[in-house]
């Protein structure tokens, strides 16, 4: 009987071991009876969580790989654009350098032209002032007066007052202008002539003998204004180059 009981235990043991190996639910129940149920549940939950984490991580990695690929494409495109922009900047720099050289050359030409025009303007202006002096000399000769008529005279009165044409004896001042296109310009010239006359009287202590205003080119409106002012202020008006002074001796 003891032998049968022992055999029965051995058979039961083998059966239990087989069940523990092959039957997961049975094994789980036994673990629960032994006090490991909560631990097993936690382990299973951890496994499920881990598997879920792995799955999500794989999905994220795939998504990140797509983003990285897209970013790489964008970076490559940006690099191509930067290279193209660099080429354009280099080309623009070359053009700017060429334009700078051309600008410098143009500036030199412009400066030369400005100097030439200024010299031409001065030459023409001086020529007309000398012409005015010749005409005044001629008019005085017609009056029986031989006088020294000069151009570009600075009168030391209240500083210096420049007079286009000046004669000390008899006392004569003249203002000249190549062209007048507005009444405002003409008014300023007449005011300058009046101021020159007062300065000459103050400097010499003499009375003005004659005042002249000479203009080569002027509009019809300006000429009418000048004739009116000449009558009002006792000014001799010379318009254009009407008198041949080529044979005058000064």
CA 50 from centre of chain: 66
Q: What are phi and psi of 167, to 5 degrees?
A: -135, 130
The structure tokens listed for 74 are: 């964008």
In a domain, 161, yes or no: yes
The Cα–Cα gap between 108 and 196 comes to 39
Question: Which two structure tokens, joined as six digits, stand for 37?
Answer: 């149920």
Find the Cα–Cα–Cα–Cα dihedral 113, 115, 117, 118, rounded to 10°: 160
Mean pLDDT score, 90-103: 82
| Whether the Cβ atoms of residue 174 and residue 135 lie closer than 8 Å to each other | no
Q: Is residue 179 part of a domain?
A: yes
The reply to whether 149 falls in a domain is yes
Residue with tokens 């300023």: 188
In-domain check, residue 160:
yes
Global pTM? 0.47
In a domain, 233, yes or no: yes
Q: Does the residue 225 lie in any domain?
A: yes
Looking from the CA of 102 toward its CB, the CA atoms found within 13 Å total: 6
Total domains in the fold of the chain: 1
Q: Is residue 74 part of a domain?
A: no
* Confidence category of residue 120, pLDDT binned at 50, 70, 90: very low
Range of the domain at 137: 129-239
Phi, psi dihedral angles at 48 (to 5 degrees): -60, -45
Which CATH number does the domain housing residue 136 bear? Answer: 3.40.1350.10
174 part of a folded domain: yes
Q: pLDDT tens-digit profile of 24-67?
A: 677 767 666 666 666 667 777 777 877 787 788 777 888 888 88
Q: Are 203 and 155 in contact (CB under 8 A)?
A: yes
pLDDT band at residue 20 using 50, 70 and 90 as cut-offs: low
């Amino acid at each position: 009987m003891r032998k049968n009981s022992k055999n029965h235990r051995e058979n039961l043991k083998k059966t239990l071991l087989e069940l523990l190996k092959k039957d997961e639910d049975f094994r789980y129940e036994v673990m629960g009876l032994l006090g490991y149920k909560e631990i097993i549940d936690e382990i299973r939950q951890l496994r499920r969580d881990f598997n879920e984490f792995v799955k999500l991580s794989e999905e994220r990695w795939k998504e990140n790989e797509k983003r990285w690929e897209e970013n790489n494409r964008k970076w490559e495109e940006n690099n191509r654009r930067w290279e193209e922009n660099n080429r354009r900047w280099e080309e623009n720099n070359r053009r700017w350098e060429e334009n700078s050289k051309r600008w410098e050359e143009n500036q030199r030409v412009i400066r030369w032209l400005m100097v030439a025009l200024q010299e031409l303007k001065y030459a023409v202006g001086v020529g007309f002032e000398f012409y005015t002096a010749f005409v005044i000399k001629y008019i005085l000769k017609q009056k029986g007066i031989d006088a020294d008529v000069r151009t570009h005279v600075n009168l030391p009165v209240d500083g210096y007052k420049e007079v286009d044409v000046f004669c000390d004896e008899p006392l004569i001042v003249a203002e000249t202008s190549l062209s007048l296109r507005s009444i405002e310009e003409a008014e300023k010239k007449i005011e300058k002539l009046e101021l020159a006359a007062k300065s000459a009287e103050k400097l010499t202590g003499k009375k003005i003998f004659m005042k002249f205003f000479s203009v080569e080119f002027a509009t019809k409106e300006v000429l009418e204004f000048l004739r009116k002012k000449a009558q009002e202020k006792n000014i001799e008006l010379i318009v254009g180059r009407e008198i041949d002074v080529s044979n005058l001796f000064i």
